[in-house]
Structure 1
Amino acid sequence: MEGRPPRLASLDVLRGLTIVGMIVVNSASYLHYVSGYAQFAALEHAAWRGFTVADAVFPAFVFMTGVSIPLALAGRGNGLDGATLRRLLVRSGRLFLLGLILSNLYWMATPESVLFRPMGVLQRLALAFLAAGVLYKTVGPRARLALAAAILLLYWPLTLAPFPDGATDLLKPGANFVGWFDRLVLGAHVYVPGPLGYDPEGLLSTLPAIAQALFGVAAGEWLLAPKSSKERGSSGLLVAGVAAIAAGLVWGVVFPISKELWTSSFVLLSTGIALVLLAGLHQVVDVKALRPPGTTFLTDFGINAVFAYSLHMLASIMLTAHMLKIPYRWATPVVGDRTAALIPVAIFVGLIWMVLAYMRRRGWIVKV
């Protein structure tokens, strides 16, 4: 068996940045809806179409799930043998099960008032990881990129296809074939209820997420490929990232950029942003071996990313604690309510980081 490639420090940093972003966005939203705190518009997801800072977080993690696949499987021979398939199935199964638990914490507490939700963030990651992992071991690099492009191209007419009892309108939430399919299969268990209910982590919209993971696989392969100079790795990612951003913005004129529908234009734009960030971090952290301020902090989140995400979901009730309301009230007259609302969020992130830093010092890495 070939030796496994070294761990990429830049990927841990970017994964940590993404997880911190997830925690900040989710925590700010939690305080907004539960405690009535004001919130910066950039930390809110676009209502249906559009793109905010918050919208860049989840797709970046889908992309990095793909990047990590060549790093984890490159030294395990060619083809999809039984052991590798079992490993992919077990890991994706554990991730999906954990997602089911985290998506249904309120349902488990009060099943009479909350509906069970089968889909969610980790469930989508699990499905994208499984599909991208199997394709990485069974299909060549060019065929994988062609398949990813085909998925994005075909997803467009799929969203425009007619559906029973309604008129397709991509500018109207849920008024499309993808939303109808979720209502048909998931019934009342979609995240957004109603006659035009839909699930932002639904079934058919997972297809372009798989394409996004395949783009991540291609980026991981590019970083592992032998090159005449290490700078070529960063420059190649940067060029691809800028091109993807431009393509996403242009396509978005006719196929709206929408995280809720996970449109192809959204995939290209968010993938491009992730590529640009990875290119910069690879150049600084991997090539030049620099450690800017905050690198250790983000790495602590990155090496235990799923654990950090799970911990913040389980501990989010802490955000409403009386002790965290005090600095918010003191700071509001000085910095304004939106900035003050970030103080309990920052404290919450700091508390989670203390756990992760201790785990890193002890060499504990939780693998799902």
Structure 2
Amino acid sequence: MTDSQRFLSLDVFRGLTVAAMILVNNPGSWSYVYTPLEHATWHGCTPTDLVFPFFLFAVGNAMSFSMKKYAGQGHAAALKKIGQRTLLIFGIGLLLNWFPFFRWNGENQLVLKPLSQLRIMGVLPRIALCYGFAALIIHFAGERRSFVIVGCLLLAYWWLLPAFGQSDPYSLEGYAGLRLDKWLLGEQHLYKGEGVPFDPEGILSTLPAICNVIFGYLAGSYIQQKGKDYPMLCGLLIAGCVLVFAALCWNLVFPINKKIWTSSYVLYTTGLALLVLSILMYAIEFRGWRKAASFFEVFGKNPLFIYVMSGVLVKLYLLLRTAPQQNLYGWLYTHVFRPIGGNYPGSLLFALFHVGLFWLLGWWMDRKKIYIRV
């Protein structure tokens, strides 16, 4: 199997997750979102809850190709490259959290967003940390021991939550990671989407999330070692089914939960990622259905850049106002998309429009051979 063939399936899988990120992050109105496009309230898993772990899996899959370059280099050179990339992605995440640097106060005046209230964690900071730690583990431990480390991390997290949690350790109030985040980061630097200071991309839950990246790396390495044949594909399918079954069994005592990123959630999402990747590989590499996959391939060639740009645009929508109490985001939904389809369809149409908008950006960049690697 040639590099272009291998990377095509990877690009499509990664692009699928980026398109899904844009779709679920940009409804016209959060009051009118179809259930599959919402996160689970707490325990459980919706299609939306698969998007982020799938992206981490894709990060690991890409690492199985890119980290070959470190093999002939010393530890110092590898550490430098891994550290630089980790810090760069984390820094971009912090800037995106702070962007657009100004906000409206209660007197309809633009004021500087205080750094004292800057959210430190988030999607990009988690990607950075998961990439960095996974790369270090793989570089120094190798593949076999990395697999053992994954098992240890997942079991350790299972032990940590009851050991340091309160009453119900799998609830928001009893979750040990909440106390850790408050202590290390401070309440002012946490996400408040749950109505209370709580970060679903917090410090403690980053530990099991690292495993999604390592699993992605091991899957990519397995594909390269076995080559393009049906036994390889069957191996991916069987591994996916085994992990999903194990996750559902573990769910009985350690609930599948994205917001605290439980170990059963890691196995469940990794298993489903393997199944989806198997289907894509069969369709693209074995059957040659490439035209049908070209839409998502565009997203996969500049994934982080397109994701960041989608966040930048939405934040600009929220900053720009068409009236004293209405921002551009709300105006577009109310005056453009809701009149076309009504509440729920209009909200979905708003999200689909932005998926298409950023596809055009990715398509233009691809035509111009512009590929921004972070």
- Native 8 Å contact 2:337 2:349 kept in 1: yes
Which amino acid is 1:314 matched to? V
Alpha-carbon displacement from aligned partner over 1:10-30 (angstroms, at most 9, x marks no partner):
1100111100110011002xx
Alpha-carbon displacement from aligned partner over 1:88-138 (angstroms, at most 9, x marks no partner):
111111111111111222665442598211111011111111111122222
Alpha-carbon displacement from aligned partner over 1:157-198 (angstroms, at most 9, x marks no partner):
1011235xxx33135214122221111111111213899743
Alpha-carbon displacement from aligned partner over 1:20-78 (angstroms, at most 9, x marks no partner):
110011002xx334xx4x11111111122111111000011111111111111224425
Instruction: Classify the secondary structure of the residue corresponding to 1:225.
Output: helix
Instruction: Classify the secondary structure of the residue corresponding to 1:117.
Output: coil
Alpha-carbon displacement from aligned partner over 1:300-321 (angstroms, at most 9, x marks no partner):
1011000110110011145726
Equivalent residue for 2:88?
94
Distance 1:60 1:174, change over 3 A: farther
Decide which of 141, 144, 165 is 2:143's aligned counterpart: 141
Which amino acid is 2:181 matched to? D
Equivalent residue for 2:320?
none
Distance 1:108 1:161, change over 3 A: farther
Equivalent residue for 1:205?
205
Distance 1:274 1:190, change over 3 A: same
Moved more, 259-268 or 323-332: 323-332
TM-score normalized by structure 1?
Answer: 0.89
Q: Distance in 1 between matches of 2:340 and 2:49?
A: 28
Q: Count residues in correspondence.
A: 352
Equivalent residue for 1:330?
339
Equivalent residue for 1:190?
190
Which amino acid is 2:257 matched to? S
Q: Distance in 1 between matches of 2:247 and 2:73?
A: 33
Matched, 1:104 2:98: yes
Q: Distance in 1 between matches of 2:337 and 2:195?
A: 39
Q: Distance in 2 between matches of 1:5 and 1:136?
A: 22
**Aligned 1:336-347 pairs, distance under 5 A:** 337-347=343-353
Alpha-carbon displacement from aligned partner over 1:259-287 (angstroms, at most 9, x marks no partner):
11000011111111111111111122123
Q: CA deviation at 1:339?
A: 2.0
**Aligned 1:137-286 pairs, distance under 5 A:** 137-163=139-165, 167-188=166-187, 189-192=189-192, 197-227=197-227, 230-286=229-285
Alpha-carbon displacement from aligned partner over 1:188-235 (angstroms, at most 9, x marks no partner):
1121389974311111111101111111111011011045x6222222
TM-score normalized by structure 2?
Answer: 0.87
Which amino acid is 1:69 matched to? M
- Native 8 Å contact 1:158 1:178 kept in 2: no
Distance 1:363 1:195, change over 3 A: closer
Q: Distance in 2 between matches of 1:199 and 1:114?
A: 16
Q: Distance in 2 between matches of 1:136 and 1:80?
A: 14
Distance 1:220 1:271, change over 3 A: same
Moved more, 8-17 or 231-240: 231-240
Which amino acid is 1:101 matched to? L
Unaligned runs of 5+ in 1: none
- Native 8 Å contact 1:19 1:309 kept in 2: yes
- Native 8 Å contact 1:180 1:196 kept in 2: no
Distance 1:305 1:144, change over 3 A: same
Q: Distance in 1 between matches of 2:174 and 2:61?
A: 33
Matched, 1:73 2:67: yes
Distance 1:200 1:194, change over 3 A: closer
Distance 1:80 1:198, change over 3 A: farther
Q: Distance in 1 between matches of 2:210 and 2:191?
A: 20
Q: Distance in 2 between matches of 1:5 and 1:133?
A: 21
**Aligned 1:16-31 pairs, distance under 5 A:** 16-28=15-27, 31=28
Matched, 1:348 2:346: no
Which amino acid is 2:210 matched to? I
Identity of aligned residues (%): 33
Q: Distance in 1 between matches of 2:183 and 2:193?
A: 12
Moved more, 81-90 or 323-332: 323-332
Equivalent residue for 1:290?
289
Distance 1:221 1:113, change over 3 A: closer
Distance 1:331 1:48, change over 3 A: same
Matched, 1:320 2:318: no
Q: Distance in 1 between matches of 2:272 and 2:139?
A: 27
Q: CA deviation at 1:327?
A: 4.4
Distance 1:196 1:313, change over 3 A: closer
Q: Distance in 2 between matches of 1:243 and 1:80?
A: 37
Moved more, 200-209 or 174-183: 174-183
Distance 1:112 1:197, change over 3 A: closer
Aligned residues: CA RMSD: 2.4
Q: Distance in 2 between matches of 1:329 and 1:211?
A: 41
- Native 8 Å contact 1:161 1:176 kept in 2: no
Q: Distance in 2 between matches of 1:287 and 1:222?
A: 17
